[in-house]
Structure 1
Amino acid sequence: MYKSLRVLIGFAILCLAHATQAQNIGNTPYSRYGLGEYNSNLGNIRNAGMAGVGVSAGNSYQANTANPALLYYNSITVFDIGVAGQVKNIKSNTGKQTDGNANLYNLTLAVPVSKRWSSAVGLRPYSVVNYDARSSSGLDSNPRATIQQQYSGEGGLSEVYFGHGVKIADGLTIGGSASYIFGAITKESASVVQDDSLSGIGTEKVVYNERIRYDSFLFRAGANYRKKITENYYLSAGAVYGFGTDMDAERKASYERRTISDNIIDDNILPDSSQSNVTIPSSLRAGLTLDNGKNLTIGADFYTQKWSEFRSFSGESELGDSYRVAFAAEYTPNANSIDNFFERVTYRAGLYYGDTPYISKGETITDKGITAGFTMPLGRSTIYDLYQLNAAFGYGQRGTTDNNLIAENYFQFSVGFTVNSRWFIKRRID
């Protein structure tokens, strides 16, 4: 077991080194706003298969990072790693394109400290920026001339977290987590004048380039209460509050002269280096779950964040308040089945709908979709070790082509492994 675990941890370190450098998810035009496209799932691939539901859905064999109060239920060591990707079709009234990519999704190690206390450390993306948008418009003073505008950005923020869950009384657990948010976002904007009546026009462009590096600590507090309501069913209620924070931001910006093919002619024109703060608003997640303590879980989550209180590097408020509702279920036909492997598989499904923080041309961008997933056991389980393969899939729609906006149809997928292991046990040979 320890040899396999060392291999997984070594692979995770390689993923960690890569993830801190790149988190691309394909061209995402709406990641131009704020800090990019935010990660709405604080859990793992299990939660991804349940449309992000997990604030009150504790699980003994999956790391409960969606709510730190649920970490108490991880009574044995859990190592979890996953990768995710998506294929996205982007379209507007003037054209369409398809993009796709994949990267690290989550990396978690949860360890029980005592019978009433468990902890977890891990890594997950906080936001992703990756867009390339172009537009053109005419000049009223010169019908033969056009202005081509180009906008691009890449980068994102990562989150390293440290969480704890403690049992206070029968059914009542509380928890908290501290996260370090860090990363850099690079953005460029350029304008090119094209006029076929003038020679030499349109062979060069001036590009504004800025790179902002962010870092800060983010704290969350959670609670969960689980009570038996009938002979066979339990009801759980959980909540997680994310405290607002001011991130330190350092910007380096300059202008560049480039050819149309992006070869640099002259760089570092009018350089600027400055510091500021970026305000991340507080958030609230709440959920209800009904389970039979064996093989069936049904849950619903609600999430909201006052992104209207967000302040960019220059102090601007360019986002709106967001919310998201999700419903999901998971079911294992027979975890102890010997003859039928598929009866030991846990199946999941969910759906979600909500308003994103993005506002374009006065219209709030909505997001909706459905998900599915499963967890299957790998190899032969023992009282010391349990290996699992996790997978999740989702299809969603965001935005609209009305009012010259952009619509995104996306297919998401994720896969990972979970290792459950009992540590610190003295094995005796009689």
Structure 2
Amino acid sequence: MYKPFRALLLISGLVIGSQQLQAQQLSNSPYSRFGVGDMVHGTSSVRSTGMGQVGVANGSAALINDLNPALLYYNNSVTFEAAVASELKRLSDKNTSQVDGTANLGYLSLALPLSRRWTTSLGLRPYSRVNYTTISTAPVSGSEATVTSYNEYNGTGGINEVYFAHGVRIANGLTAGVAGSYLFGTIDRQESTILVDREDSTSALQKTLIHTTSKYTGLMFKGGLHYRKKLGDKASLGIGGTYTTKANLSTDRQVAQERRLLDESVISSLVTDSLEGYTTLPKMIQVGLSFDNNKNWSVGADYTQTKGSEYRGFSLAKEGGRQELGDGYRVGIGSEITPDAGSVSSYFKRVTYRFGGYYGNTQINAITTGNTTPSAHDLKDMALTFGFSLPLGRGVRPPDYTQALLNTSFTVGQLEAENTGLKEQYLRVNLGITFNNRWFIKRKFD
């Protein structure tokens, strides 16, 4: 067995220690305050990220496609992938700006061909991430403008996903797939208030705080189809689609009221609410087209629709919570080319180059200054992407037919919501490693 496959043991270790994943967040994201946070689900691997989030109809024999389980059929060798995701972000409004960034686990995945018609896959990846800090100030009415209220909103955590997927060939060119996921995670939210009286310098400043902890567990399912038709010796057309069902997650919510000094030492704490209920995650539909030359290049286009209006926050009854999100979409286009995968004279001809971009829109129901009821804001997300797959070593090596790839993707984009004055400009860099290995090879000679 190829030695790097010992890294597969990391999967079991990370699942056992999965609670540690909650501390791994991307940089400050004010929009992760809504719903269950920034959705990572539906954005797929380093390969797809470099191609403008395209991949519903673009299969690959060397890399795992976790956007469409029907494309697992094309993984005819044992494949292991691991990746880390990093982000550098500049947040700005009409008055101030800040720059921050961090890195964390991207995903782990393993594909195993069980027969010529059937490949299975399992992996661990984030579903959503929450990480925000927002501060606002306002004078307290009736205090003759001497008392100011400082309000701070914080959130950390997220939801993780362990998935098990299958892809099978039904007929010539037609494949189908299904995936089941176990979702789990914890999200902590805090809302605190500090009252400052400029005419009273004798009392110690304190904050009153509402601390909400929500623990989520539940199942989610996805189905996919893909059809590939050869148009000739040098051209093939592919079409694919996936459907992700709504998921009703069991949610344990605990709310506590606290009084703290400014150094965070607790003066008093009282649990005011401890309930078991449900949170409803929305369904997602993705369709894609691909065109390739049956050899070394391909192009693709994807459309993703998320029915965010179906999201419901915590409630004692299924699908009975408050609507916090609106429907959103994303359109992506991308391409990849490998000049000559078997080149001996030039390493750069064996490198795979990827380019793409995407544009999306998500409606977030937020409260703007001067209003008391939520209103919808168009949250526009657009970016350009590129990336590479760099072969490691001298290429495919018999007798085990092993291969290793270093995968990278780069995303330069902007996220902006109308009527809020808030803009995010981001640079995301993903780095991953892929190992391919042929198992169960029948030897012809001893």
Q: Tell me the TM-score normalised to structure 2 length.
A: 0.92
Residues in 1 aligned to 2:226 and 2:203: alpha-carbon distance in whole angstroms: 65
Q: Does 1:5 align with 2:5?
A: yes
Structure 1's unaligned 5+ residue stretches are none
Q: Does 1:371 align with 2:385?
A: yes
Question: Corresponding residue for 1:356?
Answer: 362
Question: Corresponding residue for 2:371?
Answer: none
Q: Which of 409, 412, 433 in structure 2 is aligned with 1:392?
A: 409
Preserved CA contact (<8 Å) 1:388 1:418: yes
Decide which moves more: 52-61 or 193-202. Answer: 193-202
Residues in 2 aligned to 1:404 and 1:86: alpha-carbon distance in whole angstroms: 23
1:159-170 map, 5 Å: 159-170=161-172
Q: Secondary structure at the match of 1:308?
A: helix
Once the two structures are TM-superposed, the CA of residue 205 in structure 1 deviates from its matched residue by: 1.0
Question: Corresponding residue for 1:265?
Answer: 267
Residues in 1 aligned to 2:244 and 2:21: alpha-carbon distance in whole angstroms: 23
Q: Secondary structure at the match of 2:199?
A: coil
Preserved CA contact (<8 Å) 2:296 2:338: yes
Residues in 1 aligned to 2:76 and 2:330: alpha-carbon distance in whole angstroms: 31
State the one-letter code of the partner of 2:182. Y
Once the two structures are TM-superposed, the CA of residue 406 in structure 1 deviates from its matched residue by: 1.8
State the one-letter code of the partner of 1:298. V
Preserved CA contact (<8 Å) 2:183 2:218: yes
Q: Secondary structure at the match of 2:57?
A: coil
Residues in 2 aligned to 1:201 and 1:180: alpha-carbon distance in whole angstroms: 50
Deviations 1:264-309 (A, max 9, x none): 1222x14321011111121100000001111111000000011111
1:224-373 map, 5 Å: 224-267=226-269, 269-314=270-315, 315-360=321-366, 361=368, 362=375, 363-373=377-387
Residues in 2 aligned to 1:95 and 1:71: alpha-carbon distance in whole angstroms: 47
Aligned residues: 427
Q: Taking structure 1 as reference, are residues 413 and 125 closer, same or farther at Cα in structure 2, changes over 3 Å only?
A: same
Residues in 2 aligned to 1:278 and 1:69: alpha-carbon distance in whole angstroms: 29
Q: Taking structure 1 as reference, are residues 325 and 40 closer, same or farther at Cα in structure 2, changes over 3 Å only?
A: farther
Identical-residue share of aligned pairs (%) = 39
Residues in 2 aligned to 1:125 and 1:116: alpha-carbon distance in whole angstroms: 29
Question: Corresponding residue for 2:95?
Answer: 94
1:208-223 map, 5 Å: 208-223=210-225
1:107-186 map, 5 Å: 107-141=108-142, 142-186=144-188
Residues in 2 aligned to 1:13 and 1:103: alpha-carbon distance in whole angstroms: 18
Q: Taking structure 1 as reference, are residues 251 and 271 closer, same or farther at Cα in structure 2, changes over 3 Å only?
A: same
- Runs of at least 4 residues off by over 6 Å: none
Preserved CA contact (<8 Å) 1:120 1:163: yes
Question: Corresponding residue for 1:74?
Answer: 75
Preserved CA contact (<8 Å) 1:67 1:222: yes
Residues in 1 aligned to 2:379 and 2:419: alpha-carbon distance in whole angstroms: 12
Question: Corresponding residue for 2:54?
Answer: 53
Once the two structures are TM-superposed, the CA of residue 146 in structure 1 deviates from its matched residue by: 1.2
Residues in 1 aligned to 2:125 and 2:292: alpha-carbon distance in whole angstroms: 28
Q: Secondary structure at the match of 2:86?
A: strand
Deviations 1:378-420 (A, max 9, x none): 11222410111100010110014x6343211010001111111
Residues in 2 aligned to 1:31 and 1:424: alpha-carbon distance in whole angstroms: 46
Residues in 1 aligned to 2:204 and 2:323: alpha-carbon distance in whole angstroms: 34
Preserved CA contact (<8 Å) 1:93 1:404: no
Question: Corresponding residue for 2:437?
Answer: 421
Decide which moves more: 142-151 or 235-244. Answer: 142-151
Q: Taking structure 1 as reference, are residues 42 and 95 closer, same or farther at Cα in structure 2, changes over 3 Å only?
A: closer
Q: Taking structure 1 as reference, are residues 131 and 429 closer, same or farther at Cα in structure 2, changes over 3 Å only?
A: same
State the one-letter code of the partner of 2:434. T
Structure 2's unaligned 5+ residue stretches are 316-320, 369-374
Preserved CA contact (<8 Å) 1:41 1:47: no
Residues in 1 aligned to 2:307 and 2:210: alpha-carbon distance in whole angstroms: 30
Once the two structures are TM-superposed, the CA of residue 73 in structure 1 deviates from its matched residue by: 0.5
Residues in 1 aligned to 2:257 and 2:329: alpha-carbon distance in whole angstroms: 38
Residues in 2 aligned to 1:145 and 1:161: alpha-carbon distance in whole angstroms: 52
Residues in 2 aligned to 1:392 and 1:104: alpha-carbon distance in whole angstroms: 15
State the one-letter code of the partner of 2:176. I
Decide which moves more: 31-40 or 381-390. Answer: 381-390
State the one-letter code of the partner of 2:236. Y
Once the two structures are TM-superposed, the CA of residue 231 in structure 1 deviates from its matched residue by: 3.6
